[in-house]
Amino acid sequence: MKIEKNISLKKYTTIRIGGNAKVIYFPENTNDLKKLENIFTKSDTLIIGNGSNIVFKDSGYRNDLICLKRLKKSLSIIGSKNIYASAGTSCARLAKYAHNNHISGFEFLHGIPGTIGGSLKMNAGAFGSEIWDLVEFVTVVNSKGKLVKLSKKDFRVSYRKVDMKRHKAFIDVYFKFNKNKKFDKKLLNSFMNKRTSTQPINQWSSGCIFKNPNGKVSASKIIDQAELTVSRVGGIYVSKKHCNYFINDGTGTCKNLEDLIMAIKKDILKQYNIKIEKEVCIY
Ligand SMILES: Cc1cc2nc3c(=O)[nH]c(=O)nc-3n(C[C@H](O)[C@H](O)[C@H](O)COP(=O)(O)OP(=O)(O)OC[C@H]3O[C@@H](n4cnc5c(N)ncnc54)[C@H](O)[C@@H]3O)c2cc1C
């Protein structure tokens, strides 16, 4: 198993900011997961996937990190209604796999640059669908460091949030699909085209910084219409293409990001009396 010590966390987040990690473990299989039982049981151990919704402080992360993106990638169709996926598999790969097998319902995941594990934790979603809509069972590492299989009803799931206080990590998942649901072969590309035309997907960001405050209005629309007192702090600025994306120009720091978040929250509260909540996880 690969283990990195005193390594820059910039390399492990899509926004490319953060100090150093004390140690990152990269388990690749069940044996490695077993070896990490004691690390999993520590309350301050943090699990990461592709780092596309996570940012680390400039002072770095002093506790143990376990990155699951090297976990053996595995996708298979089980029987006539399930797709099995391991947590390290990318969302894009799952979406394409379903598409190639003419299974509908997974198209929205194409373009979400995370792992399946991170997407389960964030209840990632797009175009009116969320990943937990598709879940039947998951395997998790529990608080004792052991692998257990649980069903969807064991979790409290809401918009971009899954309550997993008693469990440490998602390891794999059985998605369910409805083979009678009509397959639209154009949908995958159509979603992707919408993304590329409206989101700065090729720049260093963490995707949407704020959650939508409710189902009726998006955080992006609110920010767009607000008179921002600040739209850049140091190397971090609000994207003109999608103003809920904050971009790192290469010189940004976590402090810059936090200051910009604070300033925009303050503007929105003052101008609209709306408290917008952060979606990105800052540690
Ligand atoms: C360009 C861009 C576009 C995006 N578009 C979308 C979008 O359309 N919809 C959307 O919802 N999000 C979007 N995101 C955000 C992000 O891609 C998703 O939240 C993604 O699901 C995060 O997965 P990850 O593997 O990168 O998780 P990470 O960023 O590594 O981690 C996110 C959180 O999950 C936890 N975590 C990670 N892996 C596991 C695991 N196996 N078990 C338990 N906890 C874990 C981490 O501790 C952290 O709290 C976008 C991001 C970018 C950069």
Ligand 1 atom closest to the CA of 88, numbered from 1: 41
For 80, which DSSP code?
Answer: T
Tell me how far the alpha carbon of residue 110 lies from the centroid of ligand 1, in angstroms.
13
For the Cβ of 212 lying below 6 angstroms from any atom of ligand 1, the answer is no
For the Cβ of 206 lying below 6 angstroms from any atom of ligand 1, the answer is yes
Domains of the chain: 2-67 (3.30.43.10), 75-176 (3.30.465.10), 202-282 (3.90.78.10)
Predicted confidence pLDDT, tens digits, the chain (283 residues):
999 999 999 999 999 999 999 999 999 999 999 999 999 999 999 999 999 999 999 999 999 999 999 999 999 999 999 999 999 999 999 999 999 999 999 999 999 999 999 999 999 999 999 999 999 999 999 999 999 999 999 999 999 999 987 899 999 999 999 988 999 999 999 999 999 999 999 999 999 999 999 878 999 999 999 999 999 999 999 999 999 999 999 999 999 999 999 999 999 999 999 999 999 999 9
CA dihedral of residues 197, 113, 158, 63 (deg, nearest 10): -140
Instruction: Mark residue 111 as left, alpha or beta (left: phi above 0; alpha: psi -120 to 50; beta: remaining).
Output: left
Nearest to 69 by CA among 114, 31, 125, 33: 114
The model carries a pTM of 0.97
pLDDT of 51: 98
Edge-to-edge order in the sheet of strand 232-233? 232-233, 236-238, 246-248
For the Cβ of 170 lying below 6 angstroms from any atom of ligand 1, the answer is yes
Tell me how far the alpha carbon of residue 207 lies from the centroid of ligand 1, in angstroms.
9
For ligand 1, atom 8, the nearest C-alpha belongs to 126
